[in-house]
């Protein structure tokens, strides 16, 4: 697909779906991993250069006992706002780029709550790995005897610490805290909106889905689900995501609210044939309003705010932001 190829409720062919392969166990209980290969990419764990002259205007605080970055419209609370939950990639809430991205949504009239999904443990980045590789020679022997091998190993260890059973309870605490602290914004929007990038995209999809109550909190699925287990309604009323990682077809099959998905062509971290195609089919079957746009010629992570030399990537980044913003505005 090219930049402007947009799939809206249009299933792919049976032949394409047949290529979807099942792989090992997902980090989300009950799922099968929807793609092989690396689970997190460089763009998920390392910030691009910050756009020149831009400084975050929000604040770090707590909701439900969890650290959050909150960005508010300049005229809030004098003018009504809507609550937007923004979930980041592995760089977390202290990333200047992520804070500026939250500020951009706030400038469009949203009260943005960006939670620390990682409990003050963001993903290892290139600076951290340089420091580790100097005094951790045994790791080099265990993993590929290269700095990149160590980083990959460390990211795997990091992912093992941040599974749904750890992340989802934090997000639920933040949501409940936001409902209390910003009840006016929740009421004004008729619920909570959600946007997610990379790691956070998976959790926006989960929160856009209908799940057995235990699964919604990151626990094992009940064995007797077919006997009438009560399912928990979606947490958000509409969502938009970009280049998800760790997303499974089961995540997409559970979605019940309108979602927009910005994907990257030939992205091994968010495979079209193994994730998007079965996901699109499921949303069509369940009559879920959706739009999937596949961008070509850009890297995974392109939609996260950051400076690029390539004008093509800059243009696509601005386009993705506009599409994601437009989707939540329309719902």
Domains and CATH numbers, the chain: 6-121+162-329 (3.40.50.1820)
User: What phi and psi values does residue 90 have, to the nearest 5 degrees?
Assistant: -65, -15
Task: Give yes or no for residue 327 having a pLDDT over 80.
Answer: yes
User: What phi and psi values does residue 206 have, to the nearest 5 degrees?
Assistant: -60, -45
Alpha carbon of 22 to those of 15, 33, 38, 275, 281: distances in Å? 16, 7, 15, 11, 17
Query: What is the reported pLDDT for 49?
Result: 82
Task: Give yes or no for residue 3 having a pLDDT over 60.
Answer: no
Task: Give yes or no for residue 125 having a pLDDT over 60.
Answer: yes
Query: What is the reported pLDDT for 158?
Result: 80
More confident residue, 84 or 212: 84
More confident residue, 42 or 181: 181
Beta-bridged to residue 113, according to DSSP, are 70, 85
139 within 8 A of 114, measured Cβ to Cβ = no
Query: What is the reported pLDDT for 222?
Result: 56
Among the ranges given (54-58, 161-165, 196-200, 276-280), the one the predictor scored with the smallest mean pLDDT: 161-165
DSSP string covering 88-127: --TT-TT-HHHHHHHHHHHTTTEEEEEE-TTSS-PPP-HH
pLDDT tens for each residue of 127-186 = 333 334 444 555 555 444 555 666 677 877 888 888 899 999 999 999 999 999 999 999
Q: How far apart are CA 92 and CA 113, in angstroms?
A: 13
């Amino acid at each position: 697909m090219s930049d402007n190829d947009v799939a809206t409720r249009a299933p792919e062919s049976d032949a394409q779906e047949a290529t979807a392969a099942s792989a090992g166990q997902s980090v989300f209980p009950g799922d099968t991993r929807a793609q092989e290969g690396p689970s997190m990419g460089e763009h998920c764990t390392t910030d691009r250069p910050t756009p020149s002259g831009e400084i975050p205007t929000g604040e770090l605080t707590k909701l439900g006992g969890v650290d959050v970055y909150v960005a508010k419209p300049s005229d809030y609370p004098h003018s009504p706002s809507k609550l937007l939950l923004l979930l980041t990639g592995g760089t977390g809430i202290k990333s200047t780029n992520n804070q500026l991205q939250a500020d951009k949504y706030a400038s469009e009239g949203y009260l943005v709550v960006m939670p620390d999904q990682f409990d003050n443990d963001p993903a290892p980045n290139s600076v951290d790995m340089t420091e580790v590789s100097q005094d951790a020679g045994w790791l080099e022997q265990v993993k590929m005897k290269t700095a990149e091998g160590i980083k990959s190993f460390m990211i795997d260890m990091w992912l093992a610490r941040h599974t749904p059973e750890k992340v989802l309870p934090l997000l639920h605490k933040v949501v409940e805290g936001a409902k209390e602290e910003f009840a006016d914004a929740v009421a004004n929007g008729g619920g909570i909106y959600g946007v997610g990038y990379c790691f956070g995209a998976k959790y926006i999809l989960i929160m856009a889905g209908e799940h057995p109550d235990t699964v919604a909190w990151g626990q094992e699925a009940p064995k007797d689900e077919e006997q009438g287990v009560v399912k928990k309604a979606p947490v958000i009323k509409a969502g938009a995501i970009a280049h998800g990682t760790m997303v499974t077809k089961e995540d997409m099959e559970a979605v019940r609210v309108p979602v927009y998905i910005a994907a990257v062509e030939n992205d091994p971290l968010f495979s079209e044939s193994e994730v998007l195609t079965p996901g699109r089919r499921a949303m069509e079957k369940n009559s879920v309003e959706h739009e999937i746009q596949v961008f070509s010629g850009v890297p995974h992570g392109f939609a996260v705010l950051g400076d690029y030399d390539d004008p093509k990537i800059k243009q696509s980044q601005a386009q993705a932001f506009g599409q994601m913003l437009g989707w939540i505005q329309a719902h």
